[in-house]
Chains A and B, each alone.
Chain A
Amino acid sequence: MAAGPYNYSYIFKYIIIGDMGVGKSCLLHQFTEKKFMADCPHTIGVEFGTRIIEVASQKIKLQIWDTAGQERFRAVTRSYYRGAAGALMVYDITRRSTYNHLSSWLTDARNLTNPNTVIFLIGNKCDLDAQRDVTYEEAKQFAEENGLMFLECSAKTGENVEDAFLDTAKKIYQNIQDGSLDLNAAESGVQHKPATPRNPINTDQPPNKEGCAC
């Protein structure tokens, strides 16, 4: 009960993308609620999830945009990429077609976000190893070739789900620390709290000085 809901130093925007039925909403639900949602309805447009995490003793609020995977929403969902600090790109290890579509999702992610956006590849449903259609090695290689972080996860068992979300945040935070992510740029997808009106934020300065809104 100690931490108030607004008690954080940064907000990071994430988007979750990937084909229909790969388990995007389930991953989000597992991450925010620690529960598996068995009968998850199709997402229409976008759903939001939030959770406050801690990276290097900084409280960070993740604002997660869970997008619709259906092809007919593709044009709509393109506008959600704007300003994302992290993109979780999900495929289903038991359905090869969802893996084959990754290059198209990656193109969107690259074109519609900024160069510093951290893209994390997730092979979901690793609990269904018997029905595997995409090997770990193959996907790992794809990730390496494209400079993506990668993990296989299970929204059902929760395996690696935390890591995917947290590793993304750590990478973003690291980018802020080493200066490669410019907080002044509009659409960095990162917001320092409390929001100071567009003053340049000096990232060399330890952020906790101005952290803690309450």
Chain B
Amino acid sequence: MGDKTLETEDIPRSVINEDEPINKSLTMLPWDRFSNWIHCACVVTFDLELGQAMELIYPGHIKLTDKEKMNICYLSFPDSNSGCMGDTQFHFRIRQCPGRKPLVRAHSQYNRDCPVTLQLDDAHYYGFVYFRQTKDRSIRRGYFQKSVVLITKLPFIALFNQVISIIAPEYFDNGEPSLEAACHDIDQWPLPVPGDTLNLPIMGSVIQVRLSCRSDKLIGSVPPKYSQTHSIPAHSILPSIHEVDIYSSFLSILPHVQLLWELVLIGEPIVVMASSPTITCNTVQALVNMIAPLKFCSDFRPYFTIHDSEFREYTTKTQAPPPVILGVTNPFFAKTLQHWPHIIRIGEMGPLGSSPKLANKVKKAAALKTLDSNPGVYTRYKSFLTKDKAILKRLMKGSQLKRPVEAQNAILRRHLLELTHSFMIPLERYITSLMPLQRNISPHKGPPKLRPFETEKFIETLEQSGPQLTSGIKGDWEALYRRFFRSPNFEGWYYQRQKEVNQKLQLLHLEALSNANLSEWIADKEEVQIIDLILKIKDKLNFATHNHGLVGKESVSRLQKQLEDIVSTLPDDLQSVIKT
């Protein structure tokens, strides 16, 4: 199955650092490529004595902690499985136990170039589940209940849902060898490089996907370039690697979509209650995705059970609810989480295209007594912005005209994207004004830093250049910003911007240092200062190797030359040791 041309094309580009000409065969071990995509595959079964039990972990050398195993076991089965005959697909997210190795290089390179919303994080795993329950008289209990699960750090919801839907039925039919074959296929996949269109062979078919990259235009998504050079023809083309159908997910609560956008934006605790994990995970994922291109920075659990190791932490009544989004199906939560400020109850979705029964009124949280309550959004929250009725009308009309769900979804997504953009543009503009000036960069001073963000100064800019420039939506934008500033989403966004700007400034500073006349500068300096300068230059060179590709080769070699020149001015006895 392995496609040799793909391999040789893809590996030298990013796996092997040009500074480390290591033999390729030494750097790529079996399973290395597999683990660029997937941590492991698990089979979870229902044991009459033990309850959920891990039957198999593949590949066998992968270690999971007991806590991770326990979480995976419980989250791989529907909570109340009476209604889940047949096959059920969903995904979950768990905390990784601390003490693991940091991200592999392929992942940190991926993180550097992908959109921030699609970055993988060091602390969580996703689990993609395919659960099968069938009557089987040969089993003591009369039922066959088993799940195949893919554990991965990559947030490629659409891709892995597709992959597991191919792998799991094969496994149920043919057992372990099919899982082995599937994992072997994945071990042939090229590196996940943002911007690339990849052909991914899996069990005899090929999935084609394009990985989004940070420089993609945000509005008007990039049509994937299907190059003809791939030697394996694609059987199915995934339009997006990560997106869920937010239109269908929100169908029964569409009138509240803007209110939900506000809640997610300002990082409010939200719980989604539904009868199946498939619904909760789609809804939670749709919530998290609705503020794109802004990254949702709190925890979210597409499917959460009472057995989860964070159960106590998240359901405590001694503190305010944490700013997380949970998806639950167990009726027990209706009581445990009834103090939560925002509860979304989703009913079963009707057949596609039929006009949805809309829950039009926002309900007081107290009205929610049991899980049997009607679909709707239960909250006391008052939106800061006035509801945009035009988009709702458009969607309603589309639904009456039987417009395809894909088109309805695209309309809704675009609307939300524009809304988020209108909110973010003033912030981006303000950040730009905090940049230090080029002339403040001196080789003999530290690199200047981004000036601090001052809330009031920012608020002052709103009158002139607030969201009103790009959005017709009225309301108290200022108050919305003030709430946003207290949220993890603001913190995460600001941290990211700071990091980018400071990295840029480091680069400019490196340039300046490489161009400075250092020999003249050191002429009248003490040894301790010259050593200090040498250490600084070494630091900069270190930065250059760690940010491979960001720093121009010429600047690096100029800086290297500077270093050599300075070292050569030192007494002989010192020179020999400095060089090491």
Alpha-carbon separation in the docked complex, A198 to B529 (Å): 12
B564 within 8 A of A: no
A4 within 8 A of B: yes
Which of B444, B528, B576, B577 is the one whose CB lies under 8 Å from A63? B528
A82 within 8 A of B: yes
Alpha-carbon separation in the docked complex, A144 to B532 (Å): 33
A55 within 8 A of B: no
Residues of A within 8 A of B532 (CB): 11, 50, 61, 63, 191
A5 within 8 A of B: yes
Residues of A within 8 A of B526 (CB): 83, 186, 191, 195
Q: Would A76 and B445 be within 8 Å (CB), given that A63-B532, A82-B527 are in contact?
A: no
User: Across the interface, do A197 and B446 meet the contact criterion of CB distance under 8 Å?
Assistant: no
Q: Which residue of A lies closest to B579 (CB)?
A: A45
Which of A76, A82, A195 is the one whose CB lies under 8 Å from B525? A195
Residues of A within 8 A of B577 (CB): 45-46, 76, 80
Interface residues of A in 181-196 (CB under 8 A from B): 186-187, 189-191, 194-195
Known pairs A4-B447, A63-B532, A197-B524 / 10 extra A-B pairs, C-beta < 8 Å: A1-B498, A4-B445, A5-B536, A50-B535, A76-B576, A79-B574, A80-B577, A186-B526, A213-B446, A214-B445
B138 within 8 A of A: no
User: Across the interface, do B531 and A48 meet the contact criterion of CB distance under 8 Å?
Assistant: yes
A156 within 8 A of B: no
User: Across the interface, do B528 and A4 meet the contact criterion of CB distance under 8 Å?
Assistant: no
Q: Would A214 and B448 be within 8 Å (CB), given that A63-B528, A191-B526 are in contact?
A: yes
A175 within 8 A of B: no
Q: Can you list 7 A-B contacts (CB < 8 A)?
A: A5-B447, A11-B529, A63-B532, A79-B573, A186-B526, A189-B528, A195-B525
Spell out B's residues near A (CB within 8 Å). 444-449, 498, 502, 524-529, 531-532, 535-536, 539, 571, 573-574, 576-577, 580
Spell out A's residues near B (CB within 8 Å). 1, 4-7, 11, 13, 44-46, 48, 50, 61, 63, 76, 79-80, 82-83, 186-187, 189-191, 194-195, 197-198, 213-214
User: Across the interface, do B528 and A213 meet the contact criterion of CB distance under 8 Å?
Assistant: no
Residues of A within 8 A of B535 (CB): 48, 50, 63
Q: Which residue of B lies closest to A48 (CB)?
A: B535
User: Across the interface, do A83 and B528 meet the contact criterion of CB distance under 8 Å?
Assistant: yes
Alpha-carbon separation in the docked complex, A100 to B574 (Å): 29
7 pairs of A and B residues whose beta carbons are closest in the complex: A4-B446, A6-B446, A45-B577, A79-B573, A197-B524, A214-B445, A214-B446
Residues of B within 8 A of A1 (CB): 449, 498, 502
Residues of B within 8 A of A195 (CB): 525-526, 529
